[in-house]
Structure 1
Amino acid sequence: MLHSIIIPCYKSSRTIREVVELTSAELNRLGHPEYEFILVDDYSPDDGATLRELKALAADYPFVKAISLAKNSGQHNAVMAGLNYAQGDLLIAMDDDMQTHPSQLHFLLDEIEKGYDIVYGYYPDKKHSAFRNFGSYLNYLTVRILIGKPKDMKTSSYWVIRKFVRDYVIQYQSPYTHLQGLFLRTTRNISCVPIKHFEREVGQSGYTLKKLIQLYSNIMGYSVVPLRLSTYCGYFFSILSILGALAIVIRKLVNPAMALGWPSMMCAICFFSGLIMLFMGTIGEYLGRMFLGMNKQPQFVVREVITQNNAPDTEKTGINTSTVEESQTTSSSDIEKL
């Protein structure tokens, strides 16, 4: 059984070699000698240091394939690029910073052997910053509310999926990728296991507040709950305004001398104008994403694919319809070389 390890790389020139070598040693120890590494450089802003290290790994090891993206696409889209080029029966996603440690891999592989389609590793004790943990909590609430994520399902960027899940997921062509949303609409046969979260060895997380907000907003593409919320709010405030109007009429009849207040009227106008603009923005966000999807904005653009034998590889730009056929035509001799 071929195992594909997909690692999105962002300013990881000082850690990625250790990740690859430790993971390779762990797979050999577990009795899984057939594996490949798909390392995706997400246009790291480090003067090419990460890409040079990926090229060196591809030159040193026949089981390493390095992919260079032409622009920064985000972690989830970088993983999607790796999924398109992976050929394994089991596909494993890891981080490049040693926090998703190779020593914990056996927990995920043991769990998926029980018959699950997807297995997540989760961290009872996270080593992220307080800001990142808060962002993770917001993501947990967002996914639960919008796409019905099970309450007891805990997730992270460390997971294992089966090939049929990959085959379905890469059919998604929108640039607004959210892997949890794709996984949850593919199967509910999902498990999670507790694993140890290690301290980050070098640098700091590449996630900024802007990137976290962009990631969370991507979940909108998998749910119509925000639009339904707009409708419910419209009903609520319509009823409220009718009741308010009745109350004003009754008070005016009871006390004809009552003066209607200009400040309260302006507050009401400003409040409801803001509410209308908010929901128009929500609708506009959906329409904008539909427009970009119809214009075939790519998830990722591959500049270069590097392997040890430097064999040419079919260029991909986020239009993923041919990948399933490519993976099905992989010869057994290619696997034996690993």
Structure 2
Amino acid sequence: MLHSIIIPCYKSSQTIREVVELTSAELDRLGRPDYEFILVDDYSPDDGATLKELRSLAADYPFVKAISLAKNSGQHNAVMAGLNYAQGDLLIAMDDDMQTHPSQLHFLLEEIEKGYDIVYGYYPDKKHSTFRNFGSFLNYITVRILIGKPKDMKTSSYWVIRKFVRDYVIQYQSPYTHLQGLFLRTTRNISCVPIKHFEREVGQSGYTLKKLIQLYSNIMGYSVVPLRLSTYCGYFFSILSILGALIIVIRKLVNPMMALGWPSMMCAICFFSGLIMLFMGTIGEYLGRMFLGMNKQPQFVVREVISQNSTAAAIQDTANTPDTATSVEPVLPTETISAKNSCEPSDNE
């Protein structure tokens, strides 16, 4: 059984080699010698240091394949790129910062052997910052409300899925990827196991407030709850306005000298105008995503695929044509990937 370990990399030149080597040693210890690593460089802004380290790993280990993206696509889209290139029967996602530690991998693998389709590792004691923990809580509430995530289901960016789940997930073409939403609409045979959360060894999280908001907004593509909420709010405020009008009429009949207030009227106008604009924006967000989807905005654009096999092929081609410079061309294994990258280009839990 082949195991594919997918790791999105973002400014991880100081940690990714240790992650790969420890994970490889752990899989060997568990008696699972068949594995591959799919390392996706999400256009790290570190002057090529991360990509250089990925090239070195691909040169040192035949089981490592590095993918270089032409622009930053976000963590979930980077994982989608890795899923498209992975060939394993079990697919494992990890982070590049040693927080999703290889020593905890056996808990996930033991759990999926019980027959589950997806297994998440979750952290009873998180080592994130207060800001990131708040973001995780916000994500939990959002997913619970919008797509009906089970109350006892706890998630993280450390998970194992079966090949058939991957096969369905990569059919999703939109750039607004939210992996929890895709997993939940594929299967509900999901489990989670508690694991230890380790401290980040180097640097800090690449998630800013803006990126967290963008990630959470992606869940809109898997639910019509926001549109229904606008309808319910419309009903509520319509009834409220009718009741308010009746109260004003009754008070005017009881006290004909009562003056109607201009400030209260302006407050009401501003409030309801803001509410209308809010829901128009929600509807516009859906329409905009439909428009971008019809224009086939790609999830990711692969600049280069680096492995010992592709490098050997490039060297052989160069030997046949001595005047041609050696290069490593992207290798697109399926038609799905070709479609995702045929357009111009457009950081979990």
Which TM-score applies when normalising by structure 2?
A: 0.89
Change (3 A) 1:212 1:332: closer
SS in 1 for 2:7: strand
Structure 1 residue 312: Cα displacement: 18
C-alpha distance in structure 1 between counterparts of 2:142 and 2:284, whole Å: 20
Structure 1 residue 254: Cα displacement: 1.1
1:238-271 CA deviation, whole Å, 9 max, x = no partner?
A: 0000011111111111111110000000000000
C-alpha distance in structure 1 between counterparts of 2:99 and 2:339, whole Å: 32
C-alpha distance in structure 2 between counterparts of 1:334 and 1:278, whole Å: 27
Confirm or deny: 8 A CA contact 2:42 2:74 kept in the other structure: yes
C-alpha distance in structure 2 between counterparts of 1:335 and 1:148, whole Å: 18
Identity %: 92
Change (3 A) 1:249 1:89: same
Change (3 A) 1:19 1:333: farther
Q: Where does residue 333 of structure 1 map in the other structure?
A: 346
Structure 1 residue 327: Cα displacement: 16
Q: How many residues align?
A: 329
Q: Structure 1: 5+ residue runs without aligned partners?
A: 314-320
Which TM-score applies when normalising by structure 1?
A: 0.92
Which structure 1 residue ranges, 4+ long, deviate > 4 Å from structure 2?
Answer: 310-313, 323-336
Change (3 A) 1:332 1:68: closer
Change (3 A) 1:160 1:329: farther
Confirm or deny: 8 A CA contact 1:34 1:335 kept in the other structure: no
C-alpha distance in structure 1 between counterparts of 2:340 and 2:238, whole Å: 55
Does 1:296 find its partner at 2:296?
A: yes
Change (3 A) 1:334 1:130: closer
Change (3 A) 1:9 1:121: same
Structure 1 residue 308: Cα displacement: 1.1
C-alpha distance in structure 2 between counterparts of 1:335 and 1:33, whole Å: 28
1:111-133 CA deviation, whole Å, 9 max, x = no partner?
A: 00000000000000000000000
Q: Structure 2: 5+ residue runs without aligned partners?
A: 310-319, 324-333
Confirm or deny: 8 A CA contact 2:300 2:341 kept in the other structure: no
SS in 2 for 1:332: coil
1:121-168 CA deviation, whole Å, 9 max, x = no partner?
A: 000000000000000000000000000000000000000000000000
Q: Where does residue 229 of structure 2 map in the other structure?
A: 229
SS in 2 for 1:19: helix
C-alpha distance in structure 2 between counterparts of 1:188 and 1:223, whole Å: 16
Confirm or deny: 8 A CA contact 2:206 2:347 kept in the other structure: no
Confirm or deny: 8 A CA contact 1:85 1:323 kept in the other structure: no
Confirm or deny: 8 A CA contact 1:2 1:335 kept in the other structure: no
Structure 1 residue 322: Cα displacement: 2.7
C-alpha distance in structure 2 between counterparts of 1:131 and 1:333, whole Å: 29
Structure 1 residue 332: Cα displacement: 35
SS in 2 for 1:39: strand
Change (3 A) 1:327 1:41: closer
SS in 2 for 1:334: coil
Change (3 A) 1:325 1:44: closer
Change (3 A) 1:324 1:161: farther
C-alpha distance in structure 2 between counterparts of 1:70 and 1:326, whole Å: 16
Confirm or deny: 8 A CA contact 1:4 1:88 kept in the other structure: yes
1:261-304 CA deviation, whole Å, 9 max, x = no partner?
A: 00000000000000000000000000000000000000000000
Change (3 A) 1:65 1:327: farther
SS in 2 for 1:335: coil
Structure 1 residue 325: Cα displacement: 12
C-alpha distance in structure 2 between counterparts of 1:252 and 1:92, whole Å: 69
Structure 1 residue 203: Cα displacement: 0.3
Confirm or deny: 8 A CA contact 1:59 1:308 kept in the other structure: yes
Structure 1 residue 87: Cα displacement: 0.2
Q: Where does residue 175 of structure 1 map in the other structure?
A: 175
C-alpha distance in structure 2 between counterparts of 1:326 and 1:255, whole Å: 71
Q: Where does residue 156 of structure 1 map in the other structure?
A: 156
SS in 1 for 2:217: helix
Change (3 A) 1:326 1:189: farther
C-alpha distance in structure 2 between counterparts of 1:84 and 1:16, whole Å: 21
SS in 1 for 2:98: coil
